[in-house]
């Protein structure tokens, strides 16, 4: 394996070049999307505390109205969040627009209902901006008031998609309730209704929008007709729209600059696919990962790593230089494995050519060499972590895993010790807060932001 310093420099250089192309090198100092400035889970300029509790290293803690599982994003001195607030006003879902393509699929196709009855109350779909220094609300905008046409999983919410910013505008998706664009002072610039989505088992919607340069990409995989669309970032007008042979997924796209193309890589239950951002043309596809595509792929600048952990365990390393459908030609896959636990809900993290991920929704961690596919740590239980939905985040040579029960375990990146015949990571801190956490953390500078189901925490040294 290369030295940690060289590998980290290469990885950061690749990412910096990609971001410099859209004029946003400042992204490296912020957390503009739910997987961070590099879309890898890593904050390259971050250095947050390793220890905290309700009385230690809490700079502020504020109660957030409504319900959301979306990660907060941070730009400069502002924090942006979404939430869905149930009101006491009763009503019925809005009728679908005449000629809408997303008509309700047959009941047999929709699976069982996990959320009980269809909602009967209006929800306010809200965008919040908080002051980073104090947690005080700077502005609050209601994007829409509506009665949802179907429910969601008890662990989910109607505001599951994380917002994203390019430093000039804020992009927010409430799925079936529309995509919205604001300036950073809260003025709505445009909105688009992309149609009603119908989710398998009424698990709820969750894919986040992604912006690159002057383009916003939104993935809409559902039972009523899946598609991927690219919108103009300034106007919201459709640039292209491509149909996808997928049922429901919760896959947020990964955008990667490679060999003259910006690839839009989208996971799926039948294929992981790459599209040309400029045209929507399909560049490559690779099947075999398994059902229920939720984890967002990550890249080391040469390969993309796609994984699923529902029913089957699979991890594929696919060259970015692939072209065409390579499903039937395993020699075109860099490496793959089905012998280790891979994530169901959380996304992986890549840093210093090391690929970290958890098994299913449990605190069982593995680490692989991203170049060779060599397992370094296999299925180590992280003591203190039971159930986990949040994706790991990294900064300053450390990786943070946050459980649903409020415990965050911190390990050293790239440090392993022999225990018997196995490598294990060393836990350097275990921290607990009085909330439940399903949203992934955000790291900026010397602070880490953790959004619970009740509160948003800013953790940093006072």
Beta pairing, strands 188-192 & 78-90: unpaired
Per DSSP, the residues of 311-344 read: SS-EEEEEETT--EE-TT-GGGSSEEESSS--BS
The HSE-up count of residue 411 (CA atoms within 13 Å, CB side) is 27
Residue 108's pLDDT band, with cuts at 50, 70 and 90, is low
The yes-or-no verdict on residue 22 having pLDDT over 60 is no
For position 373, which CATH number holds?
2.130.10.10
The C-alpha atoms of residue 295 and residue 343 are separated, in whole angstroms, by: 7
- Give residues with Cβ within 8 angstroms of 446, minimum separation 6: 46, 47, 48, 49, 460, 461
The yes-or-no verdict on residue 204 having pLDDT over 80 is yes
Taken in order 113, 220, 91, 453, the sign of the CA dihedral is positive
Average pLDDT, the chain: 91
Q: State the total domains in the chain.
A: 1
The C-alpha atoms of residue 310 and residue 111 are separated, in whole angstroms, by: 16
Give mean pLDDT, residues 92-116: 69
- The phi and psi torsions of 108 (rounded to 5 degrees) equal -65, -30
313-341 per-position pLDDT tens digit? 999 999 999 999 999 998 999 999 998 99
Token look-up 């990294």 returns: 394
DSSP letter (8 states) at residue 304: E
Distances (CA, A) of 316 to 223, 289, 298, 304, 360: 26, 7, 11, 8, 16
CA dihedral 153, 156, 157, 158 (to 10 degrees): -60
The yes-or-no verdict on residue 3 having pLDDT over 70 is no
The C-alpha atoms of residue 194 and residue 179 are separated, in whole angstroms, by: 8
The yes-or-no verdict on residue 100 having pLDDT over 90 is no
The C-alpha atoms of residue 252 and residue 266 are separated, in whole angstroms, by: 7
Question: The tokens of 156 are what?
Answer: 């989910």
Question: For the purposes of burial, counting CB atoms within 10 Å of the CB of 241, is it exposed (0-12), middle (13-18) or buried (19 or more)?
Answer: middle
- Going across the sheet that includes 349-351, the strands are 349-351, 354-358, 364-369, 375-381
The C-alpha atoms of residue 333 and residue 317 are separated, in whole angstroms, by: 6
Token look-up 């859209």 returns: 22
401-454 per-position pLDDT tens digit? 999 999 999 999 999 999 989 999 999 999 999 999 999 999 999 999 999 999
pTM of the prediction? Answer: 0.93
Residue 301 Rama label (left phi>0; alpha psi -120 to 50; beta): left
Give mean pLDDT, residues 380-402: 97
Number of neighbours of residue 101 by Cβ within 10 angstroms? 13
The C-alpha atoms of residue 284 and residue 7 are separated, in whole angstroms, by: 27
The yes-or-no verdict on residue 28 having pLDDT over 60 is yes
Q: Are 156 and 439 in contact (CB under 8 A)?
A: no
166-184 per-position pLDDT tens digit? 999 999 999 999 999 999 9
State the residue range of the domain holding 155: 4-460
Per DSSP, the residues of 136-163 read: -EEEEEEEEEE--SS---TT--S--SPP
50-80 per-position pLDDT tens digit? 999 999 999 999 999 999 999 999 999 999 9
The C-alpha atoms of residue 265 and residue 296 are separated, in whole angstroms, by: 9
Q: Are 121 and 90 in contact (CB under 8 A)?
A: yes
Q: Are 385 and 431 in contact (CB under 8 A)?
A: no
Q: Are 233 and 215 in contact (CB under 8 A)?
A: yes
DSSP reduced 3-state for 107: helix
Question: The tokens of 246 are what?
Answer: 């997928």
Question: The tokens of 52 are what?
Answer: 């905290």
- Going across the sheet that includes 398-402, the strands are 393-395, 398-402, 407-419, 422-432
- Going across the sheet that includes 179-183, the strands are 164-165, 169-173, 179-183, 188-192
Nearest Cα to 138, choosing from 75, 57, 54, 216?
75
């Amino acid at each position: 394996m290369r030295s940690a310093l060289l590998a980290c420099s290469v990885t950061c250089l690749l990412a910096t070049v990609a971001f410099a192309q859209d004029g946003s090198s400042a992204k490296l100092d912020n957390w503009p999307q739910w997987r961070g400035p590099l879309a890898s889970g890593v904050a390259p300029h971050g250095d947050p505390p390793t220890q905290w509790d309700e009385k230690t290293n809490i700079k502020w803690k504020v109660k957030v109205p409504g319900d959301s599982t979306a990660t907060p994003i941070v730009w400069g001195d502002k924090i942006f969040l979404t939430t869905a607030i149930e009101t006491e006003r009763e009503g019925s879902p809005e009728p679908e627009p005449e000629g809408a393509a997303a008509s309700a699929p047959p009941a047999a196709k929709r699976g069982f209902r996990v959320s009980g009855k269809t909602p009967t109350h209006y929800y306010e779909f809200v965008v919040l901006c908080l002051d980073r220094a104090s947690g005080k609300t700077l502005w609050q905008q209601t994007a829409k008031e509506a009665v949802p046409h179907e429910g969601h999983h008890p662990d989910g919410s109607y505001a599951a998609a994380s917002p994203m910013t390019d430093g000039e505008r804020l992009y927010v998706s409430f799925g079936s309730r529309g995509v919205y664009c604001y300036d950073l002072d809260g003025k709505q610039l445009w909105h688009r209704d992309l149609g009603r989505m119908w989710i398998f088992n009424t698990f709820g919607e969750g894919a986040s929008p992604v912006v690159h340069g002057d383009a916003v990409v939104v993935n809409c995989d559902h039972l009523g007709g899946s598609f991927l669309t690219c919108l103009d970032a300034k106007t919201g007008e459709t640039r292209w729209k491509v149909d996808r042979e997928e049922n429901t997924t919760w896959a947020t796209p990964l955008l990667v600059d490679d060999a003259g193309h910006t690839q839009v890589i989208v996971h799926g239950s039948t294929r992981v696919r790459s599209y040309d951002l400029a045209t929507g043309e399909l560049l490559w596809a690779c099947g075999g990962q398994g059902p229920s595509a939720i984890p967002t792929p990550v890249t080391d600048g040469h390969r993309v790593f796609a994984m699923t952990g529902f029913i089957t365990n699979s991890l594929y390393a696919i060259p970015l230089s692939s072209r065409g459908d390579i499903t039937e030609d395993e020699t075109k896959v860099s490496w793959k494995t089905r012998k280790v636990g891979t994530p169901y809900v959380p996304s992986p993290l890549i840093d210093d050519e090391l690929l970290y991920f958890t098994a299913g929704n449990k605190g069982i961690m593995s680490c692989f060499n991203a170049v060779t596919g060599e397992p370094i740590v296999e299925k180590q239980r992280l003591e203190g972590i039971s159930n986990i939905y949040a994706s790991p985040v990294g900064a300053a040579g450390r990786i943070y895993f946050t459980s649903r029960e409020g415990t965050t375990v911190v390990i050293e990146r790239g440090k392993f010790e022999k225990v018997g015949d196995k490598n294990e990571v060393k836990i350097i801190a275990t921290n607990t807060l009085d909330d439940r956490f399903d949203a992934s953390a955000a790291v900026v500078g010397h602070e880490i932001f953790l959004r619970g189901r009740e509160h948003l925490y800013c953790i940093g040294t006072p």
